[in-house]
Amino acid sequence: MDRRPRGRDGYGEMSARWRASWTVSRPRTSRSRPFVRSRSERGLTSLRIVRAATVSLGILLSCICCHRTPIETRHQLNLLDRLKTRLRQLLRSKLGISKDVTRLDSRASRLSSSLSQASDRLSRVNGRVDALKGLTLPEIRILKRTVERLQQRVDKPAFYDQFRMFTYIVDREFSLEQKKWFIEKQCMRALKYFPNLDDPETFNEKTNWYKLYYQDPLITACIDKYKFKDYVAETVGERYVIPLIGVWESGRAIDFDALPEKFVIKSNWGSGSRHVQLVRDKNALNVDEMRLRTSSWIQPWENVYYHTFDWGYKDIEPRIIAEELIEGKEFEYKFFCFDGEPAFITVARDSAPGVPNTYNNYDMDWNLLPFTRRKKNAQYPIPKPELFDELVEICRKLSAPFPHVRVDLCIAEGRILVEELTFYTTSGFGRFDPTEWDHTFGEPFILPEKRILDHSDAYSRGPLESELTLQ
């Protein structure tokens, strides 16, 4: 039974029209899943319903005033209640849509701000790209390696310097047994095996034993990048020494005006490229920043000893030195010498200052050895240097007093130069691949008798006190 109220002026027709607008048809898919409208479509539909309901409500109120029968009035009141409920729902829905619009506006403003920032960054990058277009291929390689070095520095743990400061402060409380524990922990992390420091066999094990149990003041003098020049000059001649420009006890004392346009500035107790700065254009150098950096280099906790317990560094008196910048060198020749006799050679090719790009390893007959350490082998043959015999003779003389030392040399414009003497290669934490070459390198390394200088209370305490005697 149709219970809709009917009256004059086409009320029934208007009611039917209103009901038609009330019911929103929603198409169904083949699986009878409801059709999902977008947020904007739902908003427009709701607004249309609000307008239709408002018109219908006005008509209904006029009808109530004209029709006074109880049945019609009851139906009209019920319809009015339903209209009020629907209007409240639509108003809430409209309010939710307005909130969504507000959130979208806020998000759009944030995206606009981010877009402007990205545009500014892009313009700066384009400016840098324009500046890079004029670089030569060697300069691009140097820049690439510099970026990689910076990334490696960023990836290092933040407590790196704090750890050096910590070990510097508590060093007098470290017994020899505790130093052994620290080295064992580092070996497990770097080499993936537990070292035998009591009866070492591999090259890395013997290097760590060398750090702990063999203390020769001549090692300290030769590690010092300032004093070792005197040792090289006295042993093989002044012509093999890289010329010294200046030496200072602090960064504040450096007279940059007196330095040439190109030079190398470094600390005398640095290892690798950590405390080295190559200056190719003095006019582009930030002098104030360089003073701060060099002053940081000579702080006592910057000593390599407080990182890996390389004993030869501990008693070096820190200084800042400036050397002549050597250009034109293509390779570095690193001779591993044992009891005054070279046994192996690592040839490093530089793609950036202090960061060799490839490491090729050879025996003394210039046969390429099938292993890698730290860097990959070059994909092309490296010729044997014409001055090879002279290089070998220099290494024999410089390494004669030591059970083991690595002599690093270079050839620049036909001139042989001794760059440094290295007693603890990679601090005894350099992995060989394959690992059997760790044993091969260790075979010619004949360990001497223990020689411990009783210069620190830390070496006269602990369970190994009976071993701590000067041999």
pLDDT for the residue 365: 96
pLDDT, tens only, 130-165: 666 666 677 666 766 766 665 565 445 434 455 566
Helix H or strand E encompassing 93: helix 70-132
Distances (CA, A) of 40 to 35, 52, 99, 109: 14, 19, 13, 20
pTM of the predicted model as reported, rounded to 2 decimal places = 0.63
pLDDT, tens only, 179-189: 898 899 999 99
Domain ranges (residues) in the chain: 11-20+40-106, 224-327
| Residue with the larger pLDDT of the pair 24 and 292 | 292
Strand order through the sheet with 244-248: 244-248, 320-323, 263-267, 276-279
The pLDDT-based confidence of 110 (bands split at 50, 70, 90) is confident
pLDDT for the residue 93: 66
**For residue 337, is pLDDT > 70?**
yes
Q: What are phi and psi of 350, to 5 degrees?
A: -90, 130
pLDDT, tens only, 241-274: 999 999 999 999 999 999 999 999 999 998 877 7
Taking each helix axis from N to C end, the angle separating 176-191 and 203-213, rounded to the nearest 10 degrees, works out to 160
Please give the average per-residue pLDDT across 33-41, as a whole number.
50
